[in-house]
């Protein structure tokens, strides 16, 4: 019971970091383009985790046989998720993304139910829907609607949600064979290679290499990239990979909707935005949905020891 409670605490921290990441992303892309921001973000992440591995704070042990299972995981997240999300936001409104992203827990529940045979009770299903309705309520009362004329962007955002749901499900499946550190190291390395290659290719093609490094003259950009790279990428990766060793994919995914509550709170505290009764109502629905999903989670399932080190024994499928 204590380990599950600890996992819930980590999930709340995870949602809080993600909720604040939207603010820092806005600050970063004000100085740089989205692709360069991703490249720098994962450069910071990979350098930090590389240092942790070198200092043996995080231990990794790969074989060619085991790597083949990590490749599709790292392609789902961060590669496909951020690629779909970045271009989805380019061809649609951010409000569309907010509404569609709220459905990720439902997608996760369906995918995990099919592939992992995870069972969810009726009360859990209703709780997940309640949290989704809370997010949608907040967006709708602010005058946001889905613009069906931006169909390409909507499809890309939906694909990013599917990538997240598949990543969450696959992580839950691989948790018995890999430590959170091993999965995160491979994911950060993949993001570093792919996004830097894409950004450098783009600048070389356009002959604008000087623009690639120019944002680093801004302290606001540096602070944003450090937050996005260390906390919003590396730490959240370690947290999510660790949490999924303790609770079901559907239970973990619903915590993502808490990021909407954190974003509202951050906007009020940092940007002095006004909080309305509708924000409070929607936030309560989200919180009740998260609590309900995990309260009605049923029996405790056997899970792995929560750690970021190396497992002495690994069973490779």
Confirm whether 223 is domain-assigned.
Answer: yes
State the pLDDT at residue 89: 74
- In terms of residue numbers, what domain contains 18? 3-297
State the pLDDT at residue 314: 54
- The answer to whether the CB of 282 falls within 8 A of the CB of 275 is no
39: preceding bond cis by omega (within 30 degrees) = no
Confirm whether 150 is domain-assigned.
Answer: yes
Confirm whether 230 is domain-assigned.
Answer: yes
Q: How far apart are CA 63 and CA 120, in angstroms?
A: 35
Confirm whether 314 is domain-assigned.
Answer: no
State the pLDDT at residue 120: 92
Query: What confidence tens digit (pLDDT) does each residue in 211-243 have?
Result: 999 999 999 999 999 999 999 999 999 999 999
Number of domains in the chain: 1
State the pLDDT at residue 299: 52
- The answer to whether the CB of 47 falls within 8 A of the CB of 294 is no
Q: How many beta carbons lie within 10 A of that of residue 6, not counting itself? A: 14
State the pLDDT at residue 98: 75
Number of alpha helices (DSSP H) and beta strands (DSSP E) in the chain: 15, 0
Confirm whether 100 is domain-assigned.
Answer: yes
Confirm whether 315 is domain-assigned.
Answer: no
Confirm whether 77 is domain-assigned.
Answer: yes
The pTM assigned to this predicted structure is: 0.86
Q: How far apart are CA 270 and CA 272, in angstroms?
A: 6
The stretches in the chain having pLDDT less than 50 are 301-310, 312-313, 315-317
Nearest to 102 by CA among 170, 160, 150: 160
State the pLDDT at residue 70: 95
State the pLDDT at residue 307: 47
Confirm whether 312 is domain-assigned.
Answer: no
State the pLDDT at residue 165: 96
Nearest to 235 by CA among 21, 6, 4, 1: 21
CA–chain centroid gap for 51, Å, is: 23
State the pLDDT at residue 23: 82
């Amino acid at each position: 019971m204590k380990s599950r409670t600890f996992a819930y605490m980590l999930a709340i921290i995870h949602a809080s970091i993600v909720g604040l990441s939207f603010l820092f992303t806005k600050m970063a892309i004000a100085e740089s383009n989205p692709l360069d921001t991703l490249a720098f973000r994962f450069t910071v992440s990979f350098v930090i985790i590389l240092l942790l591995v070198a200092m043996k704070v995080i231990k990794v042990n790969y074989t060619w046989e085991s790597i083949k299972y990590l490749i599709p995981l790292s392609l789902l997240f961060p590669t496909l998720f951020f690629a779909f999300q970045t271009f989805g936001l380019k061809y649609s409104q951010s409000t569309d993304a907010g509404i569609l992203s709220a459905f990720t827990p439902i997608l996760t529940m369906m995918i995990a139910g099919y592939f992992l045979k995870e069972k969810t009770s009726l009360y859990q299903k209703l709780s997940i829907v309640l949290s989704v309705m809370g997010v949608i309520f907040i967006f709708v009362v602010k005058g946001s609607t889905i613009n069906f004329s931006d169909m390409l962007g909507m499809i890309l955002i939906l694909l990013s949600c599917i990538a997240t749901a598949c990543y969450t499900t696959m992580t839950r499946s691989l948790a018995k064979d890999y430590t959170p550190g091993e999965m995160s190291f491979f994911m950060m390395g993949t993001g570093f290679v792919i996004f830097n290659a894409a950004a450098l290719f783009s600048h070389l093609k356009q002959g604008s290499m000087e623009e690639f490094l120019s944002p680093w003259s801004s302290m606001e950009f540096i602070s944003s990239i450090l937050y996005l790279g260390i906390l919003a990428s590396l730490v959240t990766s370690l947290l999510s990979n660790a949490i999924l060793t303790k609770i079901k994919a559907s239970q973990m995914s619903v915590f993502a909707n808490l990021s909407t509550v954190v974003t509202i709170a951050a906007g009020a505290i940092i940007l002095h935005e006004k909080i309305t009764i509708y924000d409070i109502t929607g936030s309560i629905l989200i919180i009740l949905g998260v609590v309900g999903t995990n309260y009605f989670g049923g029996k405790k399932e056997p899970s792995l020891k929560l750690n970021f080190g190396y497992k002495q024994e690994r069973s490779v499928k």
